[in-house]
Every structure is written in structure tokens, then in C-alpha cells.
Amino acid sequence: MEQPHTPARIMGLDIGDRRIGIAISDGLGLTAQPLFTLHRTSSSREDVRSIARMVRKHAVAEIVVGLPLHISGEESPQAVKTRKFAQELAERVQLPMHFLDERLTSHAVDELMKQGGRNSHERKALVDQMAAALILQGFLDERASSGSPSSPVTGPG
């Protein structure tokens, strides 16, 4: 008996020094939902392993990583760290890796949560995964409207 086909999903990541926000698309690649906030360990190798497990569990086919650029569009020091981590992850999971400009994403989420009455503790627990969802939704929307994302999207490195 043939197994039903599970649609491949796309994962979105908002990579920070202390936390990594993780979001996942629906099976059709139309909407992004917050999934989880991974609290970083002292080992990027362990963090990569944790994300790789989620990639397998959710049948992820592609990964979108928010790239923190300066307002000028140039890469920030955090963008360099983000690319390094994404390279480690790409080597581990062997999936297409895309980068999407994430300027002001976390700030926008934090402001929305303040307006929604969330306290500081609740916001910290959700901002990263919501930012990942916004990054992923931006990627999905661009892909749907143009056939491929038009923002800076490249492989690691």
C-alpha cells in the first residue's frame, strides 16, 4: 500500500545570539506559522543538530534565513554570524538555503505585541518565532507573486 504524500514545507529562521525563532509553512507554501523558539546553547553544533531534527520531523524542503542588514543595506556583524551558522546548517541538512532581508522584523513584531497588550516576559518568549514567521511569510508572498523571491536571496557564503 502506498504511503500518502506529505507536502514539503519551508522553514523560516530568525537567528540571534541567544535565541533562534523558527517558523514553518503550511503544506501548500502559502502561510507561515510560528513554531518554536530555540534557546541557544554554548555549542552551535548542538543548535544545528536541534534544528536538523525539526527539519526532519516537519519534512522541510527549503530553509529561509533572515539576514540582519544595516539600514544602508550593507551586512551587519550579526549578518556575518548568521551566514556562518546557516552554512553549518546547510552542510548538515543538505537543503536549499535562502537569505531574506530582515531589517526591522523583530522590532515590528515587538511593537505589535506591545499594542496587543503582551507583557515583556511574554514578548521575549514569542518575538523570535513571530519574526521568523514574518520572514518566511515575506518569502512565500514574494514567491507566490513573482514565481521567485526578488529580495537578496542566495546560498550560504
Is the pLDDT at 134 greater than 60? The verdict is yes
Give the CATH number of domain 9-146; options: 3.30.420.140, 3.60.10.10, 3.40.50.261, 3.40.190.170.
Answer: 3.30.420.140
pTM of the full structure: 0.82
- For residue 150, the model assigns a pLDDT of 42
Report pLDDT digits (tens) over 90-102.
999 999 999 998 8
DSSP the chain: -PPPPPPPEEEEEEE-SSEEEEEEE-TTSS-EEEEEEEEP-S-HHHHHHHHHHHHHHTTEEEEEEEE-B-TTSPBPHHHHHHHHHHHHHHHHH---EEEEE-TTHHHHHHHHHHHTT--HHHHHHHHHHHHHHHHHHHHHHHHHHHSS--SS-----
Report pLDDT digits (tens) over 8-67.
899 999 999 999 999 999 988 899 999 999 999 999 999 999 999 999 999 999 999 999
